[in-house]
Amino acid sequence: MEGPSGVVFPLTDGTRSTTALGRAVVADALRTVDPVGARSAEHETNWRRGYLVHFRRLVEAGLLSRDAAVTIARDGLTALHARMRVVDEDGAEHPLEDVFTTGAGQPPLDTATVTGSGEPERELSLPYRGRRLRGDELHRRLDAWVTAGVIEPSCAEAVRAVIANPDWLDLRDQRVVVLGAGAEMGPLPSVLRWGGDVVAVDLPRPDIWRRLLGVAHRYGGRLHLPVRPGTGDDDEALAAGAGADLLHRLPQAAQWLLGVDGRLVLGNYVYADGATNVRLAMAVDALTRHLQQRRDDVALAFLATPTDVYAVPAEAVAHAEREYAARGLARRSLRVLSGGRLLHRNYPPGADPGLNDSLVPQQGPNYALAKRLQRWRAAVARDAGATVSFTVAPPTRTRSVLRNRALAAAYAGAHRFGIEVFDPATSNTLMAALLVHDLRTGGGPAQDHPWRDEAYGAAHGGLWRVPYAPRSALGLAVLLGVGGARA
């Protein structure tokens, strides 16, 4: 059986164990700030089920100070880069840090550029439930979301700033690199709609590129894509010859991106199932470091999952408390019937900040680690002075989510608890608007702690402001949503 290649997990007792890596990395991340938590992670015997408490502790320990949060992020990244490996095309294994020297002989990629025929749009509009909202109608939707607790007030403020400054949408002064260009949550359609330049990176799969080329022709921007030398310029030839494999041919992709003219906005929208998600996330992080070391014009962009652990403002806690008090009788009845297992309150009264734990066990520790390392990179890069756009995205009906039957059912029943699940077109346009805001404001307002950077502009779908701790309502949401998910 052929072994793995490209970016891989390290060998531990003869196997490439995702459990051993996750446990060791979390322990190393905690060791300086929270040695007791580090020992607890190291001694966890059931990582698959027990990881939740340790990923929560990574956030709790970081609340001690700004320095504590940045130390955890830096040490976590150091642990990952020290452990992960790369297997070259000849089967030889090397440290991940050597990937750009051991793979330097990979053939270079050319660039093809496709210019759309549409007229660039200079007014922010948002697709929502079959309509396209703009102007006063969009302002009213933002108001409604804030009132319902679906987005943070800072999210609405940021979007309003973009509405008030339509010239911000003209991104021709940037080169927005979309890693995972075919992702449903990425900003590619919006940036092209606004007439900007998108540098697209995705796998060499013609079906992906046919779809992206269709989007590029429809709008008013320019799509730059990596292609094999000698690729023809018609759409079918471009689709057949385009693509860059970040997991297995990282040096090739890096060399191509180093040659792109103009300020780079390196946007991370990649995703893969299972353990491959960690491998791919690490490939992107190695690429990020490589580009930052060789260019001084690299801004970073990330979309954070709402199903994670976050510190949240006191106003979100107060909102949840009001909702908890308003559901007294129904809540008490369900609590009694479930033997106390359902509908715990979201926060201790008066918590400041509150700690929202929306981790979903079914997504597993590999998903949690892949998303956490992106948060760590955002915190470390921002601390070093880079422009960083980091936004908590809302729960969204993406294909990857709907493939998980439990999650699909939970999303179908989530509205019963005040959580709004977004359609992909709404989410990716809203997130693209927040990216524009961050690029035009140097990463948003300066904050005194990384948790506040993460909370700014969050569009969590209501998870931060609902009355109940999300996992304590998950089973009930699944039960209520089974019929809707099947439909």
Report how far residue 21's alpha carbon sits from residue 23's, in angstroms, rounded to the nearest whole number: 6
Strand 6-8, strand 197-201: pairing: unpaired
Residue 293 has what pLDDT? Answer: 96
**CA 401 to each of CA 188, 195, 404, 456: distance values in angstroms, whole numbers, following the listed order:** 20, 30, 6, 25
DSSP 323-338: HHHHTHHHHHHHHHHT
Helix (H) or strand (E) holding 245: none
The angle subtended at Cα 358 by Cα 8 and Cα 41, nearest 5°, is: 50
User: Could you tell me which of 382, 394, 378 has the C-alpha nearest to residue 460?
Assistant: 394
Strand 131-133, strand 126-128: pairing: antiparallel
* Phi–psi pair at 243, nearest 5 degrees: 130, 155
Residue 478 token pair: 């699944």
Residue 357 has what pLDDT? Answer: 97
Q: What is the pLDDT along the chain (487 residues), one digit of tens a residue?
A: 356 889 999 999 889 999 999 999 999 999 999 999 999 999 999 999 999 999 999 999 999 999 999 999 999 999 999 999 999 988 899 999 999 998 778 899 999 999 999 999 999 999 999 999 999 999 999 999 999 999 999 999 999 999 999 999 999 999 999 999 999 999 999 999 999 999 999 999 999 999 999 999 999 999 999 999 999 999 999 999 999 999 999 999 999 999 999 999 999 999 999 999 999 999 999 999 999 999 999 999 999 999 999 999 999 999 999 999 887 655 555 655 555 567 889 999 999 999 999 999 989 999 999 999 999 999 999 999 999 999 999 999 998 888 888 888 888 888 888 999 999 999 999 999 999 999 999 999 999 999 999 999 999 999 999 999 998 888 788 877 776 555 5
Secondary structure of residue 310 in the 3-state scheme: strand
Q: Enter the DSSP assignment of 441.
A: T
* Ramachandran quadrant class, 372 (left: phi over 0; alpha: psi -120 to 50; beta: rest): alpha
Report how far residue 264's alpha carbon sits from residue 254's, in angstroms, rounded to the nearest whole number: 13
What's the predicted TM-score (pTM) here? 0.95
Residue 89 has what pLDDT? Answer: 85
The angle subtended at Cα 301 by Cα 22 and Cα 276, nearest 5°, is: 35
User: What is the separation of C-alpha 237 from the centre of its chain, rounded to a whole number of angstroms?
Assistant: 32
Domain 110-317+343-485 belongs in CATH node 3.40.50.720: yes
Quick one: 15 exposed, middle or buried, by C-beta within 10 A (0-12, 13-18, 19+)? exposed
Residue 274 token pair: 């299972």
The residue type found at 412 is A
Those residues whose C-beta lies under 8 Å from the C-beta of residue 456, and which sit 6 or more positions away, are 152, 154, 158, 444, 445, 447
Those residues whose C-beta lies under 8 Å from the C-beta of residue 190, and which sit 6 or more positions away, are 428, 429, 432, 433
Residue with tokens 């022709």: 217
Those residues whose C-beta lies under 8 Å from the C-beta of residue 170, and which sit 6 or more positions away, are 120, 122, 194, 195, 196
User: What is the separation of C-alpha 192 from the centre of its chain, rounded to a whole number of angstroms?
Assistant: 21
The answer to whether 282 and 7 have CB atoms below 8 angstroms apart is yes
The residues spanned by each domain of the chain are 6-105, 110-317+343-485
Residues in the chain: 487
Helix (H) or strand (E) holding 484: helix 470-486
Residue 266 has what pLDDT? Answer: 98
Residue 339 has what pLDDT? Answer: 52
First CA to last CA across the chain, in angstroms? 41
DSSP 19-37: HHHHHHHHHHHHHTT-HHH
* Phi–psi pair at 7, nearest 5 degrees: -75, 125
